[in-house]
Amino acid sequence: MPPTRDTILAALRAVVDPETGRNVVDAGLISGLTLSGGQVGFSLDLGTSGDAAAKEPLRRACEDAVRALDGVDAAFVVLTAERPPSPAPAASRRRSDKKDNRSGAIAGVRHIIAVASGKGGVGKSTLSVNLALGLRDLGLKVGIMDADIYGPSLPRMLGISGEPQSDGKTLTPFEARGVKAMSIGFIVEEDKAMIWRGPMVMTAVTQLLYDVDWAPLDVLVVDMPPGTGDAQLTMAQRVPLSGAVVVSTPQDIALIDARKGIAMFDKVNVPLLGLVENMSYYVCPHCGSRDELFGHGGARATAEARNTPFLGEVPLHLAIREMSDTGTPIVDSQPDSEQAQAFARIAQGVKAQLDARAQAPTGPTIRMG
Ligand SMILES: Nc1ncnc2c1ncn2[C@@H]1O[C@H](COP(=O)(O)OP(=O)(O)OP(=O)(O)O)[C@@H](O)[C@H]1O
């Protein structure tokens, strides 16, 4: 039988914070408890010190206590910071320093989709931007949110610069190429990004979701941080996603990581809209000849094995990189090229998946923290 809220809280009362000598429940450190069958998730407050490393043993102790209960299949405990430990630049300073646990749908935004990868450098940002533009070409109102704290690339890829405008309450997204755009790079200092942990990333992401004037949108494309660690799991769990697209290159090692990405979304019940194989084959920019450098087709096989839609292959082509670097993504700069068409087909596939799920009698399961 699945656990109840009371049995979980009772188990957590046995976990004592050595810093205060009080149990985590009575000390008020637990919030956002969610139950979904045998899956349990909640936040553990870090306190004002913001020292996530020091609280890690306590986080684990909470997870272990809940996992040990009958009927619990999985427990996810995320550390929640009272405030980010590093001084944030102007845009986020304008907003509240209070703990930010906002969750749930964003008014006026129909779908939020994540673009994720098991490892960095496989073309997740390139896909996010070109997918957003491809969805725009299908007549949808589209936004793109760059949550890739390890290397926000949206400003460069869309040629955006400057500070976002704010009325003191909400931020106005940038408008570029007919899509609304906002990057975590605008509210987080880049050189500090590497030391940020899941909860801190989540605070910034929550602000990007709820403090930006996104509406009205059909689809908000979220460029996730690469990997399947703490930050990514927290996001996958707490952002109200309609689904996720996982991108991989064809090499075995990348595919192993992509499978971890798929497993991560499965774990938190976010539907997989499909898998994309980037740098699938090489097209010579001079003669147009095709070469399968890394042995192509692994992502399609992985998708088939996992019963996940395969959304398509994108060739490795110099123009894709060059156009990204100059702020004119390939879908806009060379729309008739094979490489732009590859992105256009992926956008069609994503739209078809979203439409099908919207019409399904039981919609996708959306987990909110
Ligand atoms: N199909 C492609 N052909 C040629 N170059 C590509 C292709 N896809 C991506 N690139 C280039 O590869 C580099 C990495 O791509 P991108 O930044 O999109 O990856 P990422 O997975 O988002 O990386 P990170 O995890 O570091 O954010 C960029 O220079 C990009 O222009």
Contact 339, 315 (CB under 8 A): yes
Q: How far is the CA of 153 from the centre of ligand 1 (A)?
A: 10
> Would you say 37 is a known binding-site residue?
no
- How far apart are the C-alpha atoms of 330 and 328, rounded to whole Å? 6
Q: What residue owns the CA closest to ligand 1's atom 11?
A: 321
Element (H, E) at 212: none
Short-list 261, 230, 237, CA closest to 118 = 261
> Would you say 47 is a known binding-site residue?
no
More confident residue, 41 or 11: 11
Confidence of residue 293 (pLDDT cuts 50, 70, 90): low
Confidence of residue 125 (pLDDT cuts 50, 70, 90): very high
Give tens-digit pLDDT for 233-289. 888 888 889 999 999 988 877 888 899 999 999 999 999 999 999 988 887 777 877
Burial class (CB in 10 A: 0-12, 13-18, 19+), 151: middle
C-beta 79 within 6 A of ligand 1: no
Ligand 1 binding pocket mutation candidate from 149, 190, 324, 326 (most atoms within 8 A of CB): 324
Q: How far is the CA of 55 from the centre of ligand 1 (A)?
A: 35
The domain limits of the chain are 5-80, 109-359
C-beta 242 within 6 A of ligand 1: no
C-beta 294 within 6 A of ligand 1: no
State the CATH class of domain 109-359. Answer: alpha beta
Short-list 43, 311, 314, CA closest to 199 = 43
Q: How far is the CA of 62 from the centre of ligand 1 (A)?
A: 38
> Would you say 125 is a known binding-site residue?
yes
Ligand 1 atom having least distance to the Cα of 223: 22
Say what angle helices 252-267 and 298-305 make with each other, to 10 degrees: 30
CA distances from 11 to 8, 27, 68 (A): 5, 14, 9
Q: How far is the CA of 171 from the centre of ligand 1 (A)?
A: 28
- How far apart are the C-alpha atoms of 130 and 147, rounded to whole Å? 16
Cis peptide before 216 (omega within 30 of 0): yes
Q: How far is the CA of 127 from the centre of ligand 1 (A)?
A: 8
Whether 349 has a pLDDT exceeding 80, the answer reads: yes
Q: How far is the CA of 179 from the centre of ligand 1 (A)?
A: 20
Confidence of residue 365 (pLDDT cuts 50, 70, 90): very low
Confidence of residue 52 (pLDDT cuts 50, 70, 90): low
Give tens-digit pLDDT for 203-242. 788 888 988 999 999 999 999 988 888 778 888 888 889 9
Q: What residue owns the CA closest to ligand 1's atom 23?
A: 121
Residue 34 tokens read as 């969610």
Ligand 1 atom having least distance to the Cα of 315: 1
Mean pLDDT of 142-147: 95
Question: Taking the model in full, what pTM does it have?
Answer: 0.73
> Would strands 290-291 and 310-316 be described as parallel, antiparallel, or unpaired?
unpaired
- How far apart are the C-alpha atoms of 78 and 98, rounded to whole Å? 17
Contact 182, 145 (CB under 8 A): yes
What is the DSSP annotation of 31-99? EEEEEETTEEEEEEE--TT--HHHHHHHHHHHHHHHHTSTT--EEEEEEE-SS-SSPP-HHHHTS--S-
pLDDT averaged over the chain? 82
CATH architecture of 5-80: 2-Layer Sandwich (3.30)
> Would you say 179 is a known binding-site residue?
no
